[in-house]
Chains A and B, each alone.
Chain A
């Protein structure tokens, strides 16, 4: 019993693709920001701790929608200034770029806490062992800490990714043609809001289910060779 989509099926499919693209680009920005935030928060330098701490506190305390609007509408003058510098006064942030930055920023703030927890969960002895072996600080982080951190942080990051995927709907507010925006367009001509928003809901549900399955596969892979205590 497929609902009649009035020929908007391909448009919705294109919107789904856009949503996935947006989620992945926000994810990659967010992972970098989260890692930097966690490193700053756990560093021995007070100013860096302060930067990491205020980043995660401030970003997490303000609604995602407000960040989206602020980054899209608030950077118009800034971008114009930048554009004049490079001789292109028409320069502006696209909805896709603004959305990726806003969602990446929010993802990064939560990921900061997840990564920090994972960093602290790795026994000190491991980095000390690295020192004894004569490895440099960067090497210890890349070869010893990071691979282990990944395993501990994965469930938390998975939850954040599900939240991120649902938050991509917010970018429809600034006009990016993802699932929600495409459904809105379909509603204006078909006058069937319930049908189309329900279809949108089911697209999001299936994206969530796919992400859940993918995550459980990744978790299994990351946990190979490990046994949970008290299984």
Chain B
């Protein structure tokens, strides 16, 4: 191990790590917002509402993220209409392509978590809310969603960690996030073991901090206290 060189390149790796965190942060928050309607639709009683979100989730969970990334980054350029369209400056940029794809990808997984959580809310509590005279929307907003959020939080934290690792794929569309930065440095130094090791340490550290953070959040929301017996 050539520790001196690892230390020399640490600042550049940290730069990459920052971009990784930025990508993951945007993706999991935007993904959550997008997953809310999808997850609610997935648990709907009407088949045509369920069908759309089922198809969406099926496609995004059934294909590799790499394929999705390439479809967005390389694929959409095939269409003249998009290249002339107003969104082209964004779709040409690997950063926005990565953000868009990671968001769409994680939204499918989060929607599935949300559906499980919504269906795990005890029936009696929903009936109680309705018996108190709450409308469907009120019951959803004040009873079902807060309850589902606590049930789904542990699974959501897993998804965030998975996204942290999935974001490494952004390096394949030329983004210099942690993995991309490591590959660039290796192309100059020919030290694959040392630099990948250092990058791996960054990922482990980030995952550790995230796990700790979510545990604190779980304590604050008192997830344990409202677990059904």
**Residue positions of A touching B, CB distance < 8 A:** 58, 61-66, 69-70, 73-74, 76-77, 166-170, 172-173, 180, 184, 187, 191-195, 197-198, 200-201, 204-205, 208-209
In the assembled complex, the Cα of A70 lies from the Cα of B203 at a distance in Å of 14
What number of A-B contacts does a CB cutoff of 8 Å give? Answer: 107
CB-defined contacts of A173 to chain B, threshold 8 Å: 172
Quick one: which of B64, B75, B197 has the most chain A CB within 10 A? B64
List the 7 closest A-B pairs by CB distance, nearest first. A63-B168, A194-B75, A169-B64, A63-B165, A193-B74, A166-B64, A73-B192
Compute how far the CA of A231 lies from the CA of B53 in the bound complex, rounded to whole angstroms.
27
Whether A201 and B179, one on each chain, are in contact in the complex, defined by CB atoms closer than 8 angstroms, is: no
* A209–B161 alpha-carbon span in the complex (Å): 26
B70 x A193 contact (CB < 8 A): yes
Q: With A and B bound together, what is the CA distance between A180 and B58 in angstroms?
A: 20
A167–B165 Cα gap in the complex (Å)? Answer: 12
Which of the residues A66, A73, A169 comes within 8 Å of B203, measured between beta carbons?
Answer: A66
B193 in contact with A74 (CB, 8 Å) = yes
A24 to chain B, nearest CB (A): 17
Asked whether B66 lies within 8 Å of A170 as measured between CB atoms, the reply is yes
Size of B's binding interface in residues, CB under 8 A: 40
A66 touches B66 (CB 8 A): no
Contacts of B207 in A (CB 8 A): 61
| Contact for B200 among A62, A184, A204, CB less than 8 A | A62
Q: State the Cβ distance, B134 to closest chain A Cβ, in Å.
A: 30
**A61 neighbours in B (Cβ, 8 Å):** 161, 203-204, 207-208
Q: Is the CB of B171 within 8 A of A65?
A: yes
CB-CB under 8 A for A66 and B59, given A194-B78, A198-B71: no
Q: Taking the complex as formed, is B145 at the interface, i.e. its CB lies under 8 A from any CB of chain A?
A: no
The reply to whether B192 and A69 contact each other, CB–CB distance below 8 Å, is yes
Return chain B residues, CB-CB under 8 Å to A63.
164-168, 179, 203
Shortest A182–chain B CB gap in Å is 12
Chain B residues with a Cβ under 8 A of chain A: 58-59, 62-68, 70-71, 74-79, 161, 164-169, 171-172, 179, 182-183, 186, 192-193, 196-197, 199-200, 203-204, 207-208
Contacts A74-B193, A74-B196, A197-B75 given; indicate if A205 touches B62 (C-beta within 8 A). yes
Question: Across the interface, do A201 and B63 meet the contact criterion of CB distance under 8 Å?
Answer: yes
Q: Which residues of the partner chain B approach A192 to less than 8 Å between Cβ atoms?
A: 78
Q: Is the CB of A187 within 8 A of B74?
A: yes
Closest chain-A Cβ to B77's Cβ sits at a distance in Å of 7
Output the least CB separation between A5 and chain B (Å). Answer: 15
- Residue picked from B65, B161, B200, B203, most chain A C-beta under 10 Å: B200
Among B66, B67, B164, max chain A CB count under 10 A is at B67
**Which residue from B65, B70, B77, B182 sits with its C-beta under 8 Å from A166?**
B65
CB-based nearest A residue for B201 = A62
Chain A nearest CB, measured from B46 CB (Å): 25
Asked if residues A73 and B63 are in contact (CB atoms below 8 Å), the reply is: no
Do A197 and B71 touch across chains, with their CB atoms under 8 A apart?
A: yes
Q: Which residues of A contact B161 (CB under 8 A)?
A: 61
B62–A69 touching, CB < 8 Å: no
**Contacting pair A180 B67 (CB below 8 A):** yes
Q: In the complex the two chains form, is B59's CB within 8 Å of A205's CB?
A: yes
Residue pair B67, A73 in contact (C-beta under 8 Å): no
- Report the bound CA distance from A62 to B70 in whole Å: 23
Whether A193 pairs with B208 at a CB distance below 8 angstroms is: no
Nearest-neighbor residue (CB-CB) of B76 within chain A: A194
- A91 CB to closest chain B CB, in angstroms? 17
Q: How far is the CB of B5 from chain A (nearest CB, A)?
A: 15
Q: Are B64 and A194 in contact (CB under 8 A)?
A: no
A58 touches B179 (CB 8 A): no
Measured CB to CB, the closest approach of chain A to B69, in angstroms, equals 9
Tell me whether A62 and B203 are in contact in the complex, defined as CB-CB below 8 angstroms, given that A69-B192, A74-B192, A180-B66 are known contacts: yes
Q: State how many angstroms separate the Cβ of B21 from the closest Cβ of chain A.
A: 14
